[in-house]
Structure 1
Amino acid sequence: MKKLLIVTSYLGFFILGGLTFTILSTTEAASNMIKISVVQDTINYYVDKVKKVPVEGQSGFIYQGTTYVPMRFVAESLGEQVTWDGKTKSIYIGDVPKFISLKDVKPIGYDEDHLFHYPSSIVISTGEKFDHSYQVGGYHGGGAVQDHTVEYLSNGNYKGFETYLAPVKKLVAGSSGIGSLKIYADDELIYNSGSIKDKVKVNVNLEGVSKVRFEILGSGLGILDPRFIQ
């Protein structure tokens, strides 16, 4: 499970020569935070033999044998721009990609897709609410949609595709999962979610691909803000 490392007190609570930090899960409530102690020591940074010094307050630290350093300092020392997207909690080093919502892309053979042309706000099993999203088995354009297939031309214009998948309702004990997504690039299967039990990130590479096909099976599946990356 991915964790966010958050400083709870930069100056204080030295424990055995270290600092006190808090780990907060990105998918758990704040009540599941735990404190850890880390070792702060002088770390020297060199880029192509040239010494680089971070600004005050951006010192690195060591935790369980791994050295953690300020990303902005390191990236900018290498001549790269750093951009933070707080909405998606994404860090971009270098160029920021352009995202195109699936609803704005014309499918092969149609002016619009009857599922992806009608995004809505949905609430998934964790209680999180997402806009620009879809519920398979939910109502879009006047009817329930499930077991859906749609195909798009890429012609090398997209670098990738990303979305999140999640059950829209809590699963009963022992459930094998609910709904699934398959992605084909030029008729080759490149992603198969299997039956979804928890919220999962989907990110596939589409560089050099001419055609992309999505196959969705089952119901009760949330497809959250799906988009091509250009």
Structure 2
Amino acid sequence: MKDKVKGLVAGLLIGTVVTGATAYAAGGKMIEVFYNVKDIKINKVSKTPSEKPFVLNGTTFVPLRFVAESLGETVKWDSKTATVWIGEQPEATAKYFGDNLSHMNWQSTSEFFMDFNYSYNDKSIKDNVGNTYNNFIKINATYMTGKDSTALLEFPLNGQYKKFVSKLGFTDAEKDSQEIVTFTVLLDDVSVTTRTIKAGEFPTDLNIDVSGAQKIGFKVSKTEHHGSGYEVGLFEARLLK
């Protein structure tokens, strides 16, 4: 929910609330509520939900859908995951890496010591400005990696997808890296986009047409060595059909 929602209500409910002075909670316990909310103003305009707001133990409860839609937000209930989505919602066809989609190739080379690693969706991760993601791909290298170093991580597509979407940047763990990293996306071994990543930059959006491609590759490389490691993240990385 956007900041304009904050402070509007102290508590929220989904669906219909009861009309009497007492009601059964989810576990079967009798609770007492007070219908003493006379008016709700959203952006200075009085609005009344079809389900009556009420007060329980000093907290005001208002139907969630009513508040969100009154502020111009969409609301979706995902019964499979028991999740309420407000505003931006996941694409219905999104496929995340690691969700029955494993890599098909991992290669790394370095002029001196080689110490690259990769992972995807093993735990949550933060980007260099503090946003947290549960879906991601990351490739990192320690300070021992030489100046001419490259790592490549590839996944099969088998011509099943239309778009690759993600945010690209340094992770929080290496946001102060002194290295300047070149990041390349390849489709069927052909480069389709190249970005430069360095400290102090915001994550950038990637939106790539992958129609008909049999595989996608993510390559990180650098030609200079400044004595520090780096960790590149593809945040909320997903494929769309």
TM-score after normalising by structure 1:
0.48
Structure with higher Rg: it is 2
TM-score after normalising by structure 2:
0.47
Bigger relative contact order, structure 1 or 2, given CA contacts below 8 A and separation 6+?
Answer: 2
